[in-house]
Structure 1
């Protein structure tokens, strides 16, 4: 059984893909978070006060008693290690090769895939971008091609069952798909994988609404920026 979490504070936003990855894992583990929601549009997360909590000035941030950790992938591995209980072996197996494939996907999400999302999201919110450019679309397709390749051996990203790799990558793929649809002919496994995940409660209740909210915000700003 997982250890009981006394007081977990999570700085987050419902439209933030990395926040939703942590929230999905928390739900899977039966954890309760005390949510704090800094205003991203007013750059509250870049304020000196917030940077005392997280010098990177990003969300999500987890506070567990006197311990603070930021960056969604680090948070998820921490939560699973401390509170994962019976879920730990399935979501982050001890088999060295499987774990390496999961880590590969976590690092890919952080270093490539989410960067492609930020490349259009931040300029939309902060610099008047009025839509995804052809270059940005090509970069996204290139990123999707890697996810497609990961899915050639299993119906999930790194194993024959759900792992942290799926929670991580789907939290980024879903909001991109909500504004720039996955090409089913080029990336059929990506589409099937996302549909498979969306049948699970944590994706249906957390990831899908988060992706829809992200899309609504993007579309609202694109309309506004065109004017």
Structure 2
């Protein structure tokens, strides 16, 4: 049976789950969940996920939210091998570290720059937040100087999560990685290896970019 995924295509965390599912051959039953319209606040949704965020999966009555946990679960349960989430303790620890980095630093700092404008009516970009985001880009550039991929010498769920974020950044700001050649090269490498990349990630990233662009254009004309 396919796994129900409650999602929005523009959401980077949702797209990391979509990429992981495709890579391990899991069929998803996509259930659009418009958080702006309050779909996530309906009683039946909160019963599955009291945090009422996206993504959430329903795997035959097993409910799980938080994208990085979902990605790990999909590989652990359905992966033909452990390539995407290696069982070796040291390699897995590095994958986990990069996942936490994506959640707590990389994507988080991006949100602190752009979400106030997109969601809260801010009239200018916070320059301090932008500086912090640039620091996060430097961190990833450093990680990619140690390995070809985010955590080791092959693609893992750390890459899928970070690619979902990085492609969102790029769709929002086409010059954001101009000073980070290793990120640019890594992105292109991952795009070529991720199954059905256009469908599972790029289309949603571009949708986010259009949404962000509409909000940012108002700043430019103010």
- Superposition TM-score, scaled by structure 1 size: 0.88
1:102 Cα shift? 0.3
Question: Partners of 1:132 and 1:49 in 2: how far apart?
Answer: 37
Q: Among 151, 154, 157, which residue is 1:158 paired with? A: 151
Flag structure 2 segments of 5+ consecutive residues without an equivalent: none
Q: How many Å apart are 1:131 and its aligned residue?
A: 5.6
Q: Which residue of structure 2 lines up, in the alignment, with residue 128 of structure 1?
A: 121
Q: Name which of 190, 200, 205 aligns with 1:206.
A: 200
- 1:219 maps to what in 2? 213
Q: Where does residue 105 of structure 2 map in the other structure?
A: 112
Alpha-carbon spacing, 1:66–1:102, altered in 2? closer, same or farther (3 Å): same
Inter-partner Cα distance in structure 1 for 2:12 and 2:123: 21
Is 1:130–1:222's contact at 8 Å kept on the other side of the alignment? no
Residue matched to 2:14: 19
Aligned: 1:91 with 2:84: yes
Going from structure 1 to structure 2, the CA distance change for 1:179 and 1:205 (only over 3 Å counts) comes to same
Aligned mates of 1:205, 1:29 — CA distance in 2: 15
Structure 1 residue ranges (4+ consecutive) displaced by more than 4 angstroms after TM superposition: 224-227
Within 5 Å, which residues of 2 pair with 1:73-92? 73-86=68-81, 89-92=82-85
Q: CA RMSD in A?
A: 1.9
Q: Please report the TM-score for the alignment, with normalisation by the length of structure 2.
A: 0.90
Aligned match of 1:63: 58
- Aligned match of 1:3: none
